Chains A and B, each alone.
Chain A
Amino acid sequence: MTPNPQSRPRLAAGVRLGQNNNQQVLLMPERALRLNGPSLQIVQRCDGNHTVQQIITELQQIYSQADPKKVETDIQGYLTLLNDQRALDFE
């Protein structure tokens, strides 16, 4: 599933940011995902306000040296992964 660019992802119930040994992690039932630069920037924008398209545009600006198409594909892939983990709801 490729997420609809106009949908607004937000963290699902029981999914939240946490910290472990100065590392940001995404906490969810029976699992924790380590977040680094881009993955953290994506998750921080899954707030129910940003659309998928807005997240893509903002990260393309942050990573202006990178190929914009690759940034878009990577974000869609990461959002799909989070959704398969049931870490996101799309509104």
Chain B
Amino acid sequence: MTPPLSNPLGLIAELTHRCPLHCVYCSNPTELINRAEELPTETWSQVFQQAAQLGVLQADLTGGEPLARPDILELIRAARAAGLYVNLITSGMPLDEARLAKLIEAGLDHFQLSFQAANQETAQEISNTKSHAQKLRVLEWLKKVRVAVTLNFVIHRRNIDQIQEMLQIAESSSATRVEFANVQYYGWAFANRENLLPTRVQLDRSLEGIKSAEARLRGKIRIESVVPDYYAKFPKPCMGGWGRKLMLITPNGEALPCHAAKIIPNLQFANVKQSTLSEIWERSEAFQKFRGESWMQAPCKTCDRRTIDFGGCRCQALLLAGDAATTDPVCTLSPNRPKVDAILTDLNNSVGAGFVYAEPPSAPPADATLTKPAWLYRPNPA
């Protein structure tokens, strides 16, 4: 028996793929959308209204850099007028104190500021942009306005040893929420994975630090952390289950069940220019493809955890096992788990891992590429 279809709760609005940063783990697809293809203000406003009617509670205005949209104030007003809770997920780059005040006046509920590291040097290496000082300025401006603030630290091998310094930044800000979100390996991050995936020792130490901070800051700052799932025993319930809770709209209006779904071959995506959100949610091929359990193979098909993790992530199954309909290979029950273990074994045995973790070396490391990896930076689309 199929349970009745519930409504989506969150709308992820990728307003643009343009961005002043070039982060090596960007969650945007490797094929970026140009400005000329972006949806106009009016279409986004209709999308927000349709989302609220469908039962969506929250809109994540993201990108790229959502502040690259000159109509961002109108978009915030439209989302708020539709009845949505408005989150802005931003690098804080195209911002000054006056523009921040206008965002809040327009109805912004929650300002989520991304950080690439706890210091300028690492942040620049990761984003290929001088951005850290601007973020610290934004934190000072945020103290003077009334808005919820989250600091979003994206975690990987190059900054995972900076958790304590990141907490210092958070504690001296007005943030009530901090995310330590380990990079998930799709798109740009998949291409840069060998330089991003932390070692087991690093991960364990960071989790200890986060755990003690959670206890110490309880009632002051809510801390949420996401581990790199290659190290997990069971997969994450990606997007809360395919087509169960979230919808993502790309800058040109395609409706996706997750950030990376475009990589799945032969999957057709409906567009908000042609269909309403409720038609897309209820009937589009893409949202139905991996919804529920009928698509599942062994071992998921009969597994007790299928209602907890929904078989894990379809894109990860495709990237690591070559089949989007198979069990997420990070699952220890998956026949493909040895592929993940091999990646971890290689990493944890490699010289590079040892170097990154070692005390400052007295001599330069033999392998210079380990200190300055050959990053594949994400470009800024036209």
Using CB atoms and an 8 Å cutoff, list the residues of chain A in contact with chain B.
Answer: 1, 12-16, 18-21, 25, 27-30, 32, 83-86
A86-B83 contact given A14-B147, A27-B109, CB 8 Å threshold? no
- Report A80 CB to chain B, min CB distance, Å: 8
Q: At the interface, yes or no: B58 with Cβ under 8 Å from chain A?
A: yes
Q: Which of the residues A18, A28, A83 comes within 8 Å of B219, measured between beta carbons?
A: A83
Residues of the B chain whose Cβ atoms lie less than 8 Å from the Cβ of A21? 7, 55
Q: When each residue 275-291 of chain B gets 1 if its CB lies under 8 Å from chain A and 0 otherwise, what string results?
A: 00000000000000000
Are the CB atoms of A29 and B57 closer together than 8 Å? no
Whole-angstrom CA separation of A85 from B223 in the bound complex: 9
Q: Sort chain B's interface into a size bin.
A: 20 to 34
Question: Interface residues, chain B, CB within 8 Å of chain A?
Answer: 7, 9, 55, 57-58, 83, 85, 87, 109-110, 112, 146-150, 176-177, 218-222, 224
CB of B119, distance to nearest CB on chain A (Å): 26
A91 to chain B, nearest CB (A): 14
Do A13 and B147 touch (CB < 8 A)? yes
Q: Is the CB of A14 within 8 A of B57?
A: no
A residues within 8 A CB of B57? 18, 20, 25, 27, 32
> Shortest Cβ distance from A87 into chain B, in angstroms?
9
CA distance A35 to B109 in the complex (A): 19
Chain A residues with CB under 8 A of B177? 29-30, 86
Cβ 8 A contact of B83, one of A12, A14, A19: A19
- Assess whether B110 is in contact with A29, with CB atoms less than 8 Å apart: yes
CB–CB B148/A12 < 8 A: yes
The residue among A18, A30, A84 with the most chain B CB atoms within 10 A of its own CB is A30
In the assembled complex, the CB of A9 is this many whole angstroms from the nearest CB of chain B, namely: 12
Is the pair A32, B58 in contact by a Cβ cutoff of 8 Å? yes
Complex contact A14–B109 (CB within 8 A): yes
Which residues from chain A contact B83 at a C-beta distance below 8 Å?
A: 18-19
Question: Cα distance A15–B147 when bound, in Å?
Answer: 9
Bound together, the chains give a CA A32 to CA B147 distance in angstroms of 17
Task: Among A1, A12, A20, point to the contact of B176 (Cβ < 8 A).
Answer: A12
Chain B residues in 8 Å Cβ range of A85: 222
A82 to chain B, nearest CB (A): 10
B219 with A1: CB separation less than 8 A? yes
Q: How far is the CA of A15 from the CA of B222 in the complex (A)?
A: 14
